[in-house]
């Protein structure tokens, strides 16, 4: 569906994308991970025809991007990180405006607005000024606007920034529903648990290069590692920090994951005893695997690794 070969993009002398190649299959939820300045936004901008590239080829729907930009854009949608709509318009006015500007026939537009409203549970707030919506509702409106042309490909640029966990889960469920409708989703985020939850494939990008790409399962499997991931239920941060202080081989890698360096039964037993003594409830123990966050940190801090 999206095929990128040998893509080079420079800003003056600074290389933003360094001969990058990538393929995204139809119907997948594809996660694009990378630290700030890695080249994610440049890549998304190029795929949406907002930025020109210097070398390489990009094709979408098997059509060369530059020659077919207008036609390709009609089948794609970008949901930017910022709330790209008009706060002084009501929800329905925003939807009608962004639909109308795309010259979508009236009957199709009505159908698509109904679909966008239903998918994002905006029905009860159609006549409400967008400025009065909650953070989560605004995010949902941002996504709903992206559905107005019934796109085959949706680009999400960190769509859950700054919202509460409940709204975040609702949005992730919405995105998973696109997968069931065989839409392709390209998703960038800094929240590793989100990527782990919704993505089929992931590419880690650093300094303009893809440093690891594959299915989520294959990326997290690591038979050679002596690390153990201990999944825990959500626990206040001070208690987790106290755990790690008492046992230096335990490292906090996310709000629900601890990494134990060493997989001997004695080390694992010691860790579990300590957690129990501090009332930290354990959900799961995974041997021979790593977390996306751990993998991401190790790859991006080491620099380039073998793909």
Partner 1 sequence: MFKAMLIKEFLLVSRDKHALAALFIMPAVFILIMSLALKDVFNEEKALIEYAVVDHDNSLESYAIISKLRANKLMNEHNISESYGKPKEEGVQFIVVIPKGFKNQFSQSDANNSALQIEVASDIGQSHLMLFKTQILSSVMQTRLDAVNLAQEMQHARQGKSSSYQKISFDEKKMMKVHYAALEEGEKPTSTQQSVPSWIVFGLFFVIIPMSTIFISERKQNTLMRLSTMNVSLPVLFGGKIIPYMLINQLQVWVMIAVGMFVVPLFGAAPLTIGGDLSALFTVSIALSLSAIGLSILIATVVDSVEQATTIGGIINILLGAIGGIMVPKFVMPEFMREFANVSPMSWGLEGFLDVFLRRGTLNDVLYEVTGLLLFGLVSLLLAAVVFNYKIRRVA
The answer to whether 53 and 42 are in contact (CB under 8 A) is: no
Q: With CB under 8 A as the contact rule, which of the stretches 26-34, 82-90, 159-167, 186-194 interacts with partner 1?
A: 82-90
CA 295 → CA 218, 219, 222, distances in Å? 12, 8, 10
Q: Which is nearer to partner 1, 86 or 191 (CB)?
A: 86
Helices 91-100, 106-119: axis angle to 10 degrees equals: 140
- One residue of 10, 73, 197, 251 binding partner 1 per CB under 8 A: 73
Report how far apart, in Å, the C-alpha atoms of 89 and of each of 93, 119, 131, 302 are: 6, 20, 8, 48
Kindly tell me which of 92 and 274 has the beta carbon lying closer to partner 1.
92
Q: In the 8-state DSSP scheme, what is residue 81?
A: S
Are 140 and 121 contacting, i.e. CB atoms less than 8 angstroms apart?
yes
Least CB distance to partner 1 at residue 46 (A): 8
How many residues make up the chain in this entry? 307
Whole-Å CA distances, 173 to 37, 78, 112, 240: 28, 18, 19, 29
Count Cβ atoms within 10 A of the Cβ of residue 203 and give its class: 0-12 exposed, 13-18 middle, 19 or more buried.
buried
Closest CB to partner 1 among residues 149, 294: 149
Residue nearer to partner 1 on the CB measure, 155 or 178: 155
- # of chain residues touching partner 1 (CB under 8 A): 26
Residue number with CB closer to partner 1 (11 or 287):
11
Minimum distance between the CB of residue 98 and partner 1, rounded to whole angstroms?
Answer: 7
Min separation Cβ 149 and partner 1, Å: 8
- Spatial neighbors of 141 by CB under 8 A, at least 6 apart, are 83, 85, 91, 94, 120, 122, 130, 133
- Residue from 29, 43, 45, 174 touching partner 1 (CB under 8 A): that is 45
| 61 or 86: CB nearest partner 1 | 86
Query: Segment 121-150, which members bind partner 1 (CB under 8 A)?
Result: 145, 149
- What is the rounded distance in angstroms from the CA atom of residue 307 to the CA atom of residue 207? 14
> Which residue in the set 49, 136, 159, 208 belongs to the binding site for partner 1 (CB under 8 A)?
49
Residue 28 beta carbon to partner 1: minimum distance, rounded to whole angstroms: 21
Q: Is 180 helix (H, G, I), strand (E, B) or coil?
A: helix
Q: Which residues inside 88-117 make contact with partner 1, applying CB under 8 A?
A: 98, 101-102
Is residue 82 near partner 1 by the rule CB under 8 A? Answer: yes
The interface region with partner 1, picked from 26-34, 75-83, 216-224, 242-250 by CB under 8 A, is 75-83
17 interacts with partner 1 by CB under 8 A: no
Binding site for partner 1 (CB under 8 A): 41-42, 45, 48-52, 70, 73-74, 76-78, 80-86, 98, 101-102, 145, 149
């Amino acid at each position: 569906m999206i095929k990128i070969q040998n893509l080079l993009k420079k800003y003056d002398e600074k290389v933003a994308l360094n001969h990058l190649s990538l393929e995204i299959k139809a119907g997948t939820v594809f996660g694009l991970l990378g630290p700030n300045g890695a080249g994610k936004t440049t890549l998304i901008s190029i795929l949406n025809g907002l930025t020109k590239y210097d070398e390489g080829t990009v094709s979408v729907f098997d059509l060369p991007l530059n020659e077919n930009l207008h036609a390709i854009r009609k089948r794609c949608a970008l949901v930017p990180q910022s709330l790209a709509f008009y706060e002084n318009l009501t929800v329905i006015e925003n939807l009608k405006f962004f639909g109308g500007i795309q010259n979508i026939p009236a009957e199709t537009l009505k159908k698509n607005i109904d679909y966008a409203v239903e998918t994002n549970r905006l029905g009860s707030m159609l006549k409400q000024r967008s400025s009065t919506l909650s953070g989560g509702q605004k995010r949902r409106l941002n996504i709903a606007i992206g559905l107005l042309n019934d796109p085959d490909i949706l680009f999400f640029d960190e769509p859950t920034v700054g919202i509460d966990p409940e709204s975040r889960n609702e949005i992730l469920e919405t995105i998973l529903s696109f997968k069931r409708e065989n839409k392709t989703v390209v998703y960038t985020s800094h929240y590793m648990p989100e990527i782990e939850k919704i993505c089929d494939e992931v590419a880690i990008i650093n300094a303009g290069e893809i440093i690891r790409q594959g299915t989520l399962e294959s990326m997290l499997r690591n038979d050679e590692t002596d690390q153990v991931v201990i999944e825990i239920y959500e626990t206040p941060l001070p208690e987790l920090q106290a755990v790690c202080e008492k046992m230096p081989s335990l490292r906090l890698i996310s709000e629900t994951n601890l990494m134990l360096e060493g997989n001997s039964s004695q080390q694992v037993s010691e860790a579990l005893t300590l957690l129990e003594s501090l009332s930290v409830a354990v959900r799961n123990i995974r041997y021979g695997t790593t977390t996306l966050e751990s993998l991401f940190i190790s790859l991006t801090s080491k620099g380039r690794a073998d793909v």
